[in-house]
Chain A
Amino acid sequence: MSRVPSYPDIESREEVLAPPGRLRSVPGVIRRNPLLAVGAAMCIAIFLVAVLAPLIATYPEDAGSATHPLQTLEPPSALHYFGTDQVGRDVFSRVVFGARISPLIAVLVLAISVLIGVPLGIAAGYFGGAVDEVISRVTDVFLAFPALLLALAFAAVMEPSITNTVIAISITWWPWYTRIVRGQAASVTGRPFVESAKATGVPHRTILLRHILPNSITPIIVQVSLDVGGVILTASALSFLGLGAQDPTPDWGLMVSQGQAYFTTQWWLVTFPGAAIFLTAVAFNLLGDGLRDVLDPRRVLTTR
């Protein structure tokens, strides 16, 4: 580099673009993205309630098969914060122990669905052609059945249990993710930076993992966070029909289903587990929304 000509206007152009004042530290993320912090805090709270359930619950044995025939359907009081149910169990204790079940079902179902759905969708979108045809047609077959019916069918041939609930719902859940990711991956594949990566000798595997996947994942994060509530309710529908978690299990969805009969007179049976489902859904929603913002460098810059 002997004689390097200088371009005076280059320096000035660089000044126009503000230096990237990106904050990657934890306090920085909270300040820029308070909703993410709230969502994360709520998720941690749910997790802590699940772990510490025996300490928090006022009547831990009520989460099991205990019954108290003399104190059924009592309204909320200092003794029973959320009242008691139709067999006299403390609703508060059951809701607390439910944090060990419903969110776990949701997380497992969504994790399995993402693990199956996303790789298939990415492969279909990137490779196209025959690979796409096969994956898309299989997906279509699964999507052609109403999800709940399909889950019912699978649940019916298996023993009613939480594990089998998770399997049955996952089978109906993954095709949606495949479809979302496929479209996204196909459009990312057509963008010039993929061609550019190929032109620098990057192998398919690396392109898929490092370029296509990160650029296609945002809609899935949002969808997963929206689906938490949906999975809990689907699981409760299975329980309601006798195919999922069974009675003494303090599953929130099951509690809502069973409480329906008493809703007009004993509102607390449905309201508290329902509120727990709602808060869980909101927590994951905020978390998902916040993650999307953090993962997109453009959005981080434009929020301020």
Chain B
Amino acid sequence: MTDPKLSLRDLRITFGPRTVVDLDHLELGSGEILGLAGESGSGKSITALAVLGLASTLGARVEGSVRLDDEELVGAPESRLREIRGSRIAMIFQSPVSSLDPLLRIGELFERTLRLHGDGKHEAAERAAAALREVLLSPDLLERYPHELSGGQAQRIAIAMALALRSEVLLADEPTSALDVTVQAEILDLLRRVREERGMSVLFISHDLAVVAELCDRVAVMQLGRIVEEGPTARVLGEPEDDYTKRLVASVPKIGVRA
């Protein structure tokens, strides 16, 4: 691997006296899809929020280092972090429809967000339409309100936003967990395509090992805020070394195999 796009080192996230994340080392390569797997409460989502400098808004304390290329993000001024959010690191969430403001048409949301990051009005409209086409949606959807979208469409729109903003890193926090299986497959396909065509790096957070196995190049398994095992997906999920990973892998139901 060449220089990592995003690297986390000695990252500690604490809520008062409780340490929820204590992470030695995690790197996301350029154009890589890294899975971050683990059960609920293992610290996956708060880690992603910490990358964006948003963990503190939930009352958490973040220590250690988060580097994007060569820039340190922990302790960076809020104004700098705001520039980075969206334009260099984008995030998509588990509940795609409720992640969109119900009172804003999709087009307005794109216009505001793109103008916030420096596009002109006209440029923003064109870029939004292009991004929607890129995620295989009709630009007509820009006229819609969020409640007029399906979950799959809304998640595509969230990804389109990252594309329109030319983000280099996508933090995907359980992006397919709320979708049914066929739509889930479409979104995974889209993420793969985004990586190939745009060279976007994706941190894919999921508790669903089947999905991780299908999508990710590498996987890091998280338990109680620590990374217990990390490596190429096939190796980690095929021949797990750590006890916790073994149990996690064993918990995935297999078709045709009786427990």
Contact = CB atoms under 8 A, between A and B. Distances in A.
Interface of A: 1, 4-7, 9-10, 13-14, 17, 20, 191-193, 195-203, 206, 210-211, 214-215, 295-298, 301
A202 B186 contact: no
B107 to A, nearest CB: 12
Contact of B103 (A7, A17, A201, A297): A297
A1 B152 CA distance: 21
B98 A193 contact: yes
B9 interface: no
B186 A210 contact: no
What 5 pairs between A and B have smallest CB-CB spacing? A200-B86, A201-B85, A199-B91, A201-B82, A196-B99
Contact of A9 (B86, B87, B133, B182): B182
11 contacts: A1-B133, A14-B138, A20-B145, A192-B93, A196-B100, A198-B54, A201-B116, A202-B113, A206-B116, A297-B102, A298-B147
A192 B93 CA distance: 8
A196 B147 CA distance: 16
A201 B54 CA distance: 10
B116 A202 contact: yes
Given A193-B98, A195-B93, A200 B136 contact: no
A135 B16 CA distance: 25
Interface string B91-127: 1011100111111000000001100110000000000
Contacts of A17: 148-150
B101 A199 contact: no
Contacts of A5: 136, 189, 193
A298 B102 contact: yes
Given A4-B136, A210-B112, A297-B147, A199 B82 contact: no
B73 to A, nearest CB: 13
B165 A200 contact: yes
* B: contact size bracket: 35 or more
Nearest to A198: B54
B134 interface: yes
Nearest to A296: B103
Interface SS majority for chain A: helix
B101 A7 contact: no
A198 B57 contact: yes
B191 to A, nearest CB: 13
B83 interface: yes
B136 A10 contact: yes
A191 B98 contact: yes
A200 B113 contact: yes
Nearest to B82: A201
A20 B100 contact: no
B143 interface: yes
B182 A201 contact: no
Contact of B144 (A20, A200, A206, A214): A20
A217 to B, nearest CB: 10
A200 B119 CA distance: 14
A193 B101 contact: yes
Q: Kindly name the residue among B102, B113, B117, B137 whose own CB sees the greatest number of chain A CB atoms within 10 A.
A: B102
B159 to A, nearest CB: 13
Given A1-B133, A200-B165, A20 B143 contact: yes
B98 A192 contact: yes
B197 interface: yes
